[in-house]
Amino acid sequence: MSKYDLSMKRLKAIAIISTLTFGLMACEGPTSVRVVDSPAIEQTLFDGRGINVSRKSNTTVSLSSITTAEPNSTQIEVFIVARNSRSSPFILSTSSIAAQVDGVAAKIFTYEELKAAEVRSRNIALIATAIGGAANAYSASQPQTTTGTYNYGGTYGTYSGTTYNPAASTLATAAVTANTNAQINTISSNSDRTLGQLQETYLKPTTMNRGMEYGGVLRIEVPRLSAESTQDILLTINLGTDIHTFELVRGWDITQ
């Protein structure tokens, strides 16, 4: 094989590696979701954020995407506010909302599902921390083994010895226990904060009486976005006899 052939082969390999590297980097870049412009949807601004409003005879829905420059994950979030102007009472919940991603039905997580997932994650972390702490505490309480080498009369060898210092063992065990307790407190505190945010912000089943306004965050399951692609998302919200639809698109955030 000539030097020219080797150089071309090497150049081709570099090009392939560069392409693969760029593709992997793209798949890890930020993505954003925006509402597609439509004559049936009013657009306005509130506190610098775009609000999209759908008005029907009896009800109104305002929607805003809160997935902006977010990692390429399997979930997106939008915020909705519904108003019952003239309709008979109805229940607003994730059951009255349907989502499709590229024509395929997508899951909308309920508040209870999100809460249960957080509690389960917290419990797993607490169990793992407690087990690790117990193992470390046991290790710290054990006698210490010392090893070394010796030279006696020109003869070389190794030695080992075991010593037990109750005071040092007690201090080491106390330090490990304190560290474990601190980790447990941090896990519990972070989980409580997350559960509080879920309680305050995510949509929960609510009876919408006439004149009432209520809303919250929706978390929707979506596939990870492929390189150089977009996702078409359709949200259908049923409020009494009114049906509101929003078309959204998810794409790579080229502003980053």
Coil vs helix vs strand at 54: strand
33 strand-pairing partners: 250
Distance CA 58, CA 242 (A): 7
- Report DSSP state, residue 96: G
Residue 197 has pLDDT above 90, yes or no: no
Mean pLDDT of 134-157: 59
Q: For residue 141, what pLDDT is reported?
A: 61
Task: Residue 78: name the closest of 233, 251, 238, 218 by CA.
Answer: 218
Q: What are the percentages of helix, strand and coil residues in the chain, rounded to 5?
A: 35, 40, 25
Coil vs helix vs strand at 154: coil
Distance CA 146, CA 52 (A): 71
90, 61 Cβ separation under 8 angstroms:
no
Considering only 71-75, 105-109, 119-123, which range has the smallest mean pLDDT?
119-123
Coil vs helix vs strand at 99: strand
Q: For residue 63, what pLDDT is reported?
A: 96
Domain boundaries, the chain: 30-111+203-252
pLDDT in tens, 39-58: 999 999 888 888 999 999 99
pTM metric for this prediction: 0.69
Q: For residue 149, what pLDDT is reported?
A: 58
Fold of 30-111+203-252: Immunoglobulin-like (2.60.40)
Residue 135 has pLDDT above 60, yes or no: yes
pLDDT in tens, 4-18: 343 334 334 433 333
pLDDT in tens, 24-35: 444 568 999 999
46, 246 Cβ separation under 8 angstroms:
no
